[in-house]
Amino acid sequence: MTAPATPAPFGARLRRAMDARGPLCVGIDPHASLLDAWGLADDIAGLTSFTRTVVDALADRVAVFKPQSAFFERFGSRGLAVLEDATADLRAAGALVVMDAKRGDIGSTMAAYADTYLRPGAPLFSDALTVSPYLGYGSLAPAVELARASGCGLFVLALTSNPEGAEVQRATAADGRTLGAAMLAHLAAENAAERAAGSPLGSFGAVVGATLGDLSSFDLATGGPLLAPGIGAQGATPADLPAVFGPAVRDVVPSVSRGVLRHGPDAAALRAAAERYADEVRAAVGG
């Protein structure tokens, strides 16, 4: 019997997707106010219509999608069924899915979260998962191990854009580094082997807010991707990226949610907004 092929690492697939489709991640955040703006009810029918419209309009042309799991979970099992279908359809269209669930726990519970999103064949199997390391970076080990085995990736919360994040992420650890800097260093170590083997990008990324301004005091060159929320409705623009990310700007995966989604439910307007953001990012980062 022929052994199954080793999956291509997430980082390599991510670089190919962004080169082919443009350096953009579109968030899928069906919160109540956005459903209302689309003329949809805040119920399972509205959720289904919203999600189906986004998938049909953009799945074959945007590199990365980031569904926010909480906005589906609030509808219970029926909401999760919508998320399962969307995840499968996006991946079938050639897009990469980063599940924005921000999971973080210890031991067997962290392993169960990893199985939910990173084990091939799972109903919510995704290309990557956002995770919280603030029970200690080592608590992420089950997710790191399964991601590596499955050809998936992780995005670890490092320097988030919410003001409250600084209380933890910029606190000083025993070795004198801030906790955010420590997380970036852990990720550089995770990516070292992939990069040494010739991968254009490691599979273990950081979440770093695009609204944070000058981050030159942090070493953002982890060898992996930098998922950058905050563009669009939160105030950052693609033109801000070089000043925020410096030499690591080519590794940025800019994430836009409302900046694209507010143009729905018209499919052509959604596509035009996504294309405009991708073009602006290319111009800003020289990609």
- Out of 16, 31, 52, 102, which one is annotated catalytic? 102
With respect to residue 3, please indicate whether it lies within any of the assigned structural domains.
Answer: no
Question: Could you give the angle at which helices 44-58 and 76-92 cross, rounded to 10 degrees?
Answer: 10
| Number of structural domains the chain divides into | 1
The two three-digit tokens of residue 117, written as one number: 């999103």
With respect to residue 34, please indicate whether it lies within any of the assigned structural domains.
Answer: yes
- Give the CATH number, domain containing residue 249: 3.20.20.70
- In order of 129, 157, 197, the CA distances from 229 in angstroms are 15, 11, 29
Residue 49 is inside which H or E element, if any?
A: helix 44-58
With respect to residue 1, please indicate whether it lies within any of the assigned structural domains.
Answer: no
* Per-residue pLDDT reduced to its tens digit, 80-139: 999 999 999 999 999 999 999 999 999 999 999 999 999 999 999 999 999 999 999 999
Contacts of residue 94, defined as CB under 8 A and 6 or more positions apart, other chains included, come to: 17, 59, 60
With respect to residue 232, please indicate whether it lies within any of the assigned structural domains.
Answer: yes
With respect to residue 287, please indicate whether it lies within any of the assigned structural domains.
Answer: no
Q: Does the annotation count 66 as an active-site position? A: no
* Per-residue pLDDT reduced to its tens digit, 176-198: 999 999 999 999 999 999 999 99
Rounded to two decimals, the pTM is 0.96
What's the CA gap between 208 and 108, in Å, rounded? Answer: 28
With respect to residue 2, please indicate whether it lies within any of the assigned structural domains.
Answer: no
Phi, psi at residue 96, to the nearest 5°? -100, 140
Strand pairing report for 25-28 and 128-131: unpaired
Its domain, for residue 45, covers 10-282
